Amino acid sequence: MLALLATPAFASAQDATQPPTPATEDYQFQREGIFGCNQTGSYSMSVGALAARGSIYVPVNDAAVTLNTGYLIYKECVLDGVIKRQVESLTSGLAKKRITDAVSGRGGNPQYVQNIRYELLEEESKGFVQLLKSEEYLSPLCSTFKDKVRPAIARNYYMTTQKTNSAFACTITCSDADRRAFLDGDMTKCGGLSGLMEYGLNPANHELGAFILARENVEMQLTQLEQNVRQEWDWGDGFYAQKDDLDNPFTANIVTPSMLIARSLWVTLDSGRKQLESATEIDQIVSALFSGLSTQASTDTRGLYGLTQSLGGQPSYLDRMAAESGQGLRNAVANVAIGILNAARQIETAFWEAKRKIAQTLTSLVNQLRSAERQCWNLIIDRVCATPVSGGKCQTVGGGTLNVATSTAESQAVIDAQVSPVAVQVANDVQASEKAVQLINQLIAGVTNTSSVTNQRLALEQLDSLVAQKLLHNQYDLVAAQKQLEDVNSAVKSLVEDTIVAWADSTDPTIGWCNVNNQSVLDMWIDRWKTQ
């Protein structure tokens, strides 16, 4: 009878005492884990179960309706809030990276224009160096004086861009007296003819003329380059395009348009405000620092660069924003985990209590069988012995001596057949449930351990694995355990009564071994105990 109760009371729940310890670095939260529409989350939110009754007892209801309602509540009231926090955390992290790139992503320089004059000059200088280094560009020059014209152009560019007042500097390096004599026609002063070249132009095949022509062409090229740079800035509202060669602007190709770079930054800056604007529920409100990012960027006197810098010993705005969003996500996840763990602890505790009572009932059954067996031996001894038992011996009514040898064989046979299968299973369930409660308490401590992000994440990963693998008991597992307790209580009463009746009333001595009203039973014990 009791052997029928040995079927496990929870088919889906396995041993949760030793959950896998996933690798934190590589672990991916599972679709069936705490962030999915899982049964564990549904059970913990089921209307009519925990939510409505404030306990783990399941009232009479449609199981499918209860489960489906739990799914909806878990998704709407729990998971949606977590996903919103996750979106905020991810986008704030992207915002931090995007702003950092904006202030240093162009070879360590900002992606936007800071000083129009100097940055145009910087681009022109790069273009000038590229032209001057190009043998193909300067190849039309006469080879006789090419090496003289090249440095002359470089000096001229330097004087007109880096040291503009050199344009009106005196270029004849001689004394004032010699200079006056030279100007009066004395060609022996101030270099003679070479000095005259400083004042005249010769566009023919002369190095001065070649210099002038090459300079004009270079200036034309640089003017066009300046127009291109301004056009690039205009397209991107003051942002540079991403190019494949920053040092050679004449041949560099645009790989990312400046418009895209500018708009991506704006979208990033405005993401928090838009998320706040679209919030329709309390748990969709984003953190203050993230929602105010665009305002901070436009009002900080240090500009975008100020968002990346610490102030007064405090972390930077971006660091504080990312930390605030990350903490919000961890809090939301911890709340989900605590809800599941608290429900699991209630269920597991009640499950353990039901199994413990079954174990107590089975222990009581064994004691009743042993007691009934002892009473049977006393009845048999009273009927076959004419004298009190002394030293395991007594005298029969006919004067013979009996070696009285009682045993627990009869009760043990019943225990082995009817009780042991259930007792072994229940003992294992009790032990496993005790360990499961300890584990749940450890996970609760880990999830609420805000001082260690690593330990908190590890606890969440372990819980996620438990939920995904269905290693936690649910209300229906508990109901099965409580039903098993009822069945055991009912079966125990019948088993004790039926066993006593069989021992005492059966006319078959092998069954009714305690039927003292059956002389054949008494004769059987006298024959077994009599001395030879």
Taking the C-alpha atoms of residue 322 and residue 91, their distance in angstroms, rounded to an integer, is 9
**pLDDT for res 306:** 82
**pLDDT for res 507:** 93
**pLDDT for res 481:** 93
Opening angle at CA 112, ends 106 and 115, nearest 5: 105
Q: Is the dihedral of CA 301, 303, 308, 309 positive or negative?
A: negative
Q: Which stretches of the chain score pLDDT less than 70?
A: 1-27, 29-81, 143-146, 155, 157-174, 179, 182-211, 213, 279-285, 450, 532
For 479, list phi and psi in degrees, rounded to 5: -60, -40
Nearest CA to 210 out of 147, 284, 282, 297 is that of 147
Please give the C-alpha separations between residue 281 and each of 73, 80, 284, 286, 494, in angstroms, as whole numbers. Answer: 14, 10, 5, 11, 58
**pLDDT for res 273:** 79
CB 314 within 8 A of CB 363: no
Tokens of 119: 């940055």
Residues with Cβ within 8 Å of residue 257, at least 6 apart in sequence: 235, 236, 241
Taking the C-alpha atoms of residue 96 and residue 69, their distance in angstroms, rounded to an integer, is 39
Diameter of the chain measured on Cα atoms: 174
**pLDDT for res 171:** 56
H/E/C letters for each residue in 150-202? HHHHHHHHHHHHHCHHHHHCCCCCCCHHHHHHHHCCCCCCCCCHHHHCCCCCC
pLDDT digits (tens, 9 = 90+) for 506-520: 999 999 999 999 999
> Which residues lie across from 393 on neighbouring strands?
390, 403
Residues with Cβ within 8 Å of residue 275, at least 6 apart in sequence: 84, 87, 88, 91, 284, 286, 290, 291
**pLDDT for res 19:** 52
**pLDDT for res 469:** 77
DSSP code, position 251: T
